[in-house]
Chain A
């Protein structure tokens, strides 16, 4: 594929103590595209996603082998605070802070030194617009982030991630806790966002992967319960003419 690469994993393995959870995974996350990680529960796709912003560092006893790169630089050598500013994350369950909508979005910019109230107001408006939430909350910015619906909360979390102007947004099953209408909104939003951001998404919903993603990675556990990358390529190819039998079995719903 002739496509600029934003992030890359090279021979990446991850261990919880002695247990190997990810085995020797290499793949590229292309610039301004949506890359989906699919696979059955427990295949390590979320753990793999969390490797790209080093969230796994927070778990005691985790060690890794191999490398992950952002724009060609080894992320293990970067300052983790800088890395997480560049690689944002949206979680499975909407997790707004118990603060106002405004303060939720302004949280990241404030951390990174924006103090001026009117500068913050500009960032908040821009981010909420980018997350397709502005029209719904423009008059309620002082309202608690917990007082809006689940779908709105998840878009608020997306706005919060956008507000620090990341390069990559990682989404860990961002719609799994939402109803179909809210899910559709998030999917439309992702299509909008990929113009400016590189997105990697974990999903257990194959239709969703097929609908929104440009590239798909299929992960599966081996006989030692370690997650392996089985196949990676353009989404259409993975879903129509997979080269691995296991991918075809999973896509066609024979297991998982």
Chain B
């Protein structure tokens, strides 16, 4: 009885997911052709045009955000796992536990809060305007906690014996981290980074208030733009081209599926190697 109930809930959730994806694909795929990818939206109420500029903007957003967030997040995680325990000063130790608490909390904050923060600081106070720069910095704030947490997990899964072996050969802590720990943790870290890239592709609210909504191809970091997810929102809410929204959504879903597949490939490589 319990088993068939569990089976039913499992089957039901898979069905719902298939229904959602299937509906989007059926509605969206017919509108997709080469022209859809190579032309930019024409703007206005009609919603005519393709999604070229939104693909470019999405790409820029992912690259710039990761370029900001990856070094900061990975660096912070390395400090927290590899160095902070040996900190002698009480003040540093207090700061470290505060940082840990901060990371945990920030990872659960809704993205629109980061959006408001980004609007206040980057768009207004720093005068960066609605731009890729503002949106990437806000996006970095959103994903840094995610990168820190996944990197910490990846670093912790590297056996202590690797570190001991390296240190006993006269390696410094940094040499040990760089040559032994990071290579071993690399699959886990890249999974975290890919997950974060997925967040940037799929978030809307945070970019609504930082990226503006320009449908033109961005020409610099200070240009505004709209990501694909944002474009879906604009098409659905502000134009009559609901079919275009569905087509864009279909492309978006395909992209997310692709990213998740590559995460699966990486994680299955890890488990194959540790066997």
Contact = CB atoms under 8 A, between A and B. Distances in A.
B95 to A, nearest CB: 16
B161 A91 contact: yes
A58 interface: yes
Interface string A153-192: 0000100110010000000000000000000000000000
B159 interface: yes
Given A98-B273, A107-B179, A111-B175, A84 B162 contact: no
Nearest to B170: A85
A95 B170 contact: no
The listed residue with most A CB atoms (<10 A of its CB), out of B159, B166, B170, B180, is B170
Given A60-B86, A91-B165, A157-B165, A98 B184 contact: yes
The listed residue with most A CB atoms (<10 A of its CB), out of B164, B175, B180, B273, is B164
A84 B169 CA distance: 6
A103 to B, nearest CB: 10
B171 to A, nearest CB: 5
A31 B169 CA distance: 21
Interface string B69-88: 00000000000000001100
Nearest to B165: A95
B165 A160 contact: yes
Interface residues of A, number: 26
B170 A81 contact: yes
Contacts, number: 63
A26 B79 CA distance: 38
Given A60-B85, A98-B273, A81 B161 contact: no
The listed residue with most B CB atoms (<10 A of its CB), out of A83, A89, A95, is A95
B170 A82 contact: yes
A67 interface: no
B164 A95 contact: yes
Nearest to A96: B165
Nearest to A110: B179
B167 A58 contact: yes
Main secondary structure on chain B at its contact with chain A?
Answer: helix
Nearest to B173: A58
B185 to A, nearest CB: 11
A160 B171 CA distance: 13
A85 B169 contact: yes
Nearest to B171: A111
Interface in A19-41: none
Contacts of A82: 170
A95 B167 contact: no
Interface string B144-174: 0000000000000001011011111111100
Given A60-B85, A60-B86, A98-B273, A161 B162 contact: no
A95 B162 contact: yes
A88 B165 contact: no
A85 B171 CA distance: 9
A121 B166 CA distance: 20
A172 to B, nearest CB: 10
Given A95-B159, A97-B180, A53 B273 contact: no
A107 B171 CA distance: 9
9 contacts: A58-B164, A58-B167, A81-B170, A84-B170, A95-B165, A107-B171, A157-B165, A160-B165, A161-B169
Interface of B: 85-86, 159, 161-162, 164-172, 175, 179-180, 183-184, 273
Interface of A: 53, 55, 58, 60, 81-85, 88-89, 91, 93, 95-99, 107-108, 111-112, 157, 160-161, 164
